[in-house]
Every structure is written in structure tokens, then in C-alpha cells.
Amino acid sequence: MADHIVIVEALTGGSGLRLVEDAVRRAGRVTFVTRDKGRYAHDPLRHLLESGPVAVRVRETRSAKELAGLFQELRDGGEFTLIAPDEQYLLPAATAAEELGIPFLPTASVRLTRDKHAFRQACAAGSVPAPRSTAAPDLAGALAAAEATGYPVVLKPSIGSGGYGVVSAADADELRWHFAEVLDECDGTGGVPLVEEFLVGPAVSAEVLYSGGTPQLLGISDRTMSELPYFMELAIRSPADLSPRVHRRIERICADLARLLAYENGPAHIEFALTAEGPKVVEFTPGFAGREPAGRAPGLRDFRITA
């Protein structure tokens, strides 16, 4: 790892700046890039952005063009390790890094996993277990897809994160009721509503570090979800109590995902439902997850910095 770490934004809520604190301990030089320092006004480690060893650069972090300009400027002073822990900034950071040949997450992988419809299609083509999914741009299409899938179903935007706009529908009346809110969540994102198979079984998540396409499972956590019809994560418990057989199946799916996504190196947060048919992939995030940048699983503090 280079002695200069560049971090594009941090997770908000909790203490997302703990990642910056870790970086200061491990590198001789740390640069933090943000579009607004005020986003971290309530972080207990906000003082790190005011003085001391962290160089703060204010840029539009949602713009690949602005990030590319900054990365080129920083690289003129030597190589650096790039980290972007918040999912919404992964694509611009990856695009800028790829343009300049800076090692980071592959842009194609970030794009594919960002679009849940494309990801579901890729899983189906690659025989990776995942819920059946149909794009439904209008209510008539959603009702037809739900009838074909079988109630209950899950409605969700094809682009989005954090469980926003994800809702279950037990019958056609509930689907009609919730479809408008899912459609609203798609507005301005380029996404479409999806109608998906409702997976029955415990929810777990795996924190994975890929090296050369080989997954290293750093930990698997139980996820406590909100009551239906919504799917908000309320709590996690780590480690999850899984049988060796289920653990092996999850590890095998993680390896299959690396091949499917051409994802060679980097971190991933992968969510599963443990159904009667076995684990099924709900979501793959190429990067960090959760509101706390450390502590979700053994070894995760090191993972956050070295990935």
C-alpha cells in the first residue's frame, strides 16, 4: 500500500471518520476529499477535518471529471491508495481512477451491481442463485409480473441502496397501493421498478475481500429487518451462527460472483437470504457497507484500510 491514502467521502451517521483516523495511523500522508465538510458536523471525529495531518480537498465528489482532475494533481506528487467507502461515490471515483490508470474497483463491476435489474439478469445467465426478477415500468406490467411470479412479491427500484423504496406486496391491492412510491424512488435515477420473488429465510450479510478473484470471508452477520412491508435493516449480530455447509455454499457463491462480475480485487458487502433451497444473493455492493466503518466483522478494520 502506498504511503499516501486518498479517501473520497466517508459514511455519514455513527463515526464514519473512524476510517480517516485509521488511515492517519497507517500512512504518512492522508487526503480527504469531500463536497461539503458540513456533512460530518455531527461525527465525533470531525476535528480530524479541521486541523492536523489530514489534508482536506473540497470537490464535487459526484463528478468523475472533478475527481479525475484532483487525482491527476495528487498523483503528480506520487502514487496513492484510493478508498471510497460510501456506495454513492463509488462510480465517479471508479470512473476517474480508470481513466487515469489508478488501481481501484473496476468501473464495469460498479455499474453492473449498481443496476439491480442488470445484476439479476447476469446472475440468471451465470446460474448464480438469486430471486426471480422482472422489470416493470408501469402498473400493468407490475401486476402481470406479480401474477407470473406468485404473491407475495417484493417491489424495489432497480437503482438505489439502503432499502429505500423496497416494499413487499401480499396481493394485487397492496401492489397497486405501493407501486407509485416505488416509481417515485426511480424518478431521476434512470431506474425502473422491479417485481421480485419474495425470499423466505433469515437475512445475512458477508464482508468479503477479493484478491485475484479469490474471496476471503472476513465475517458473516445476521441481519435483523423491520416488519413488513418494508425492508430496513434494524440491527446486525456478528458472527452469524451458520452450519459449515451453509458457510461453504456462501463462500462458493462469492467465488462465482467474482467470475460473473470480473471482480478481481477489492472489498465487497454481499447480502443473502438463507432460503430452503439454499443461500440466494440479494445484493452485491463493491465496497463498504453499514454506518460504522469498523467492527462489523473480525479483521474489518484492517480490511477498510488495506483494500
Q: Provide the mean pLDDT of the chain.
A: 90
Same-domain status, 31 and 90: yes
CA 68 to chain centre: 22
d(CA 152, CA 225): 17
Are 274 and 282 in contact, with CB atoms under 8 Å apart? no
Same-domain status, 160 and 175: yes
Same-domain status, 185 and 209: no
Q: Which of 197, 212, 237 is the last residue of a domain?
A: 197
Question: What would the pLDDT profile of 104-138 be if each residue is shown by its tens digit?
Answer: 888 988 999 889 999 999 999 999 999 999 999 99
Q: What is the CATH number of the domain that holds 182?
A: 3.30.1490.20
Q: Is the residue at 123 inside a domain?
A: no
Work out whether the CA dihedral 73, 75, 81, 84 comes out positive or negative. Answer: positive
pTM for the model: 0.82
Strand pairing of 266-275 and 278-285? antiparallel
Same-domain status, 57 and 81: yes
Q: What is the CATH number of the domain that holds 89?
A: 3.40.50.720
Number of domains in the chain: 3
Are 150 and 164 in contact, with CB atoms under 8 Å apart? no
Q: Is the residue at 184 inside a domain?
A: yes
Q: Is the residue at 121 inside a domain?
A: no
Same-domain status, 159 and 205: no
Range of the domain at 143: 132-197
Question: What would the pLDDT profile of 231-284 be if each residue is shown by its tens digit?
Answer: 988 898 989 999 999 999 999 999 999 999 988 888 899 999 999 999 999 999
